[in-house]
Amino acid sequence: MLELKAYPSGPIWKNPAALMLSLAAAVFVAVPAWAKPADHKRGDRDLDVMTVNLYVGGDISGVMALDPTDPYYGYYLINTVADIYDDIVASDPPARLQTVADEIAERMPDVVAVEEASLLRRQSPGDLASGGIIPATTVVYDYLQLLVADLAAQGAHYQVVATANEMDVELPMLTDSQTLATDDVRLSDREAILVRSDLPHGQLRVCNPQSGNFATLIEIPALGLAITRGWCAVDVTMRDSGFRVVCAHPEQETAADIQAAQIGELLAGPAKARQPVILVGDFNADALGRDGSYAYDLIPAAGFTDAWAKLHPNTPSGGLTWGHDPLLIDPTTHFDRRIDFVFYHGKGLVPVAADVIDLATGLLPSPRWASDHAAVYATFELK
């Protein structure tokens, strides 16, 4: 049986169990396209914020279904990882990120938060199958770099001002069925906050970038592993108004208690500040608890307001943001959860517009969408 070893230090895990527990894939799908924000006319005191999960582009349910006790587990594993890698490549990350960049450039939000800003790397030939521990370093796709470059190419200039490093997993994949040759594939998860860098001098200033990982997490004692999740934050001054922006990506709804504990840490940590706070991200917690989670309610209980719910009080079950099918090609299924949010707390932030943006690529047959998530866009008047 193929032996997989963890690195002696650092967050790079060469073990399929970590991937199974940490990278739960989306298995539902699509929603009718939402209208682009056009009703609100931007004012001199407005702040526009956008959050979007970039999505890696592959479904790891095949890996999760494998039986580690099967004598052929190693062979099935390297085949399944190869299939997932092929799906990621077939999802066309450059085209998907171009669509995200198009949507950002059309609206030019002042602040953009992104989740699952993946960094995919490869080592060829791989050393994992033979017991090696050298990490893969050759970049296949850097989603954050692609997004910033696509924005710049359109004259939409953004600067990455805060990042968080989260899960970092490496697995072997089959490259030759005759010789059983393998490469190693490494997937690193990140969150980031971007701000416009083309505004007049002094109009938008940032300081105090922060990032952190939650102390409460999924642990696998037998393997000496843990599933890392986290947040990043930055303090912003815009038109003499100061506030903090926090981007977070808590645990999946399949670990509801851990998710709730992580959100509790968030509310007691970076989201607890003297200045007003805008808290955004993919929280993996449905606003109506339809996925078995309950952590959403903790955030309003801490004094935060959901911008979309505030401005759409007559459609409590609307504004769905997740999830297109894992391959991003099935037009017959629909979003069924609202798990991506723009929350706010403190004086001086008055929401005047909030929209959910389905990220259609216009490409057929694949990928139809840029992500399995919709983006959420909100405008605040700064009082």
What is the per-residue pLDDT across 311-325, written as a single tens digit (0 to 9) for each?
999 998 899 999 899
Q: Note the pTM of the prediction, 2 decimals.
A: 0.87
pLDDT digits (tens, 9 = 90+) for 192-235: 999 999 999 889 999 999 999 999 998 755 445 578 999 999 99
- Where are the domains positioned within the chain? 12-382
**What is the average pLDDT value for the chain, to the nearest integer?**
87
Gap between the Cα atoms of 61 and 320, Å rounded: 23
Q: What is the pLDDT of residue 182?
A: 97
Phi and psi at residue 214, in whole multiples of 5°?
-70, 140
| DSSP output for 139-181 | EEEEHHHHHHHHHHHTT--EEEEEEEEEEEEEEEEEEETTTTE
- Mean pLDDT by runs of 10 across the 383 residues of the chain is 35 40 31 40 82 93 77 92 96 98 98 98 95 96 98 97 93 94 96 96 94 88 68 95 97 93 98 97 95 95 98 93 93 93 96 97 93 98 93
What span, in angstroms and rounded, lies between the C-alpha atoms of 78 and 183?
Answer: 9
* CB atoms near residue 138 (< 10 Å): 12
> What pLDDT score does 351 carry?
97
Distance CA 62, CA 1 (A): 19
Is the CB of residue 147 less than 8 Å from the CB of residue 115? no
Contact 162, 191 (CB under 8 A): no
Spatial neighbors of 166 by CB under 8 A, at least 6 apart, are 188, 189, 190, 191, 213, 228, 229, 230, 249
- State the Cα–Cα distance between residues 92 and 64, nearest whole angstrom: 23
| Residues above pLDDT 90, as percent of the chain | 75
Query: H helices of the chain, where?
Result: 16-22, 61-64, 73-90, 93-107, 143-153, 256-268, 298-301, 307-311
Q: How far apart are CA 20 and CA 59, in angstroms?
A: 11
Cβ contacts of residue 135 below 8 Å, gap of 6+?
Answer: 7, 12, 121, 123, 170, 186
C-alpha pair distances (Å), 11 with each of 5, 225, 331 = 13, 9, 37
Dist. CA 146–CA 56, nearest whole Å = 13
> What is the rounded distance in angstroms from the CA atom of residue 73 to the CA atom of residue 163?
36
Burial class for 215, CB neighbours closer than 10 Å (0-12, 13-18, 19+): exposed
The pair of structure tokens assigned to 349 is: 């932030």
Topology at the third CATH level for domain 12-382 = Deoxyribonuclease I; Chain A (3.60.10)
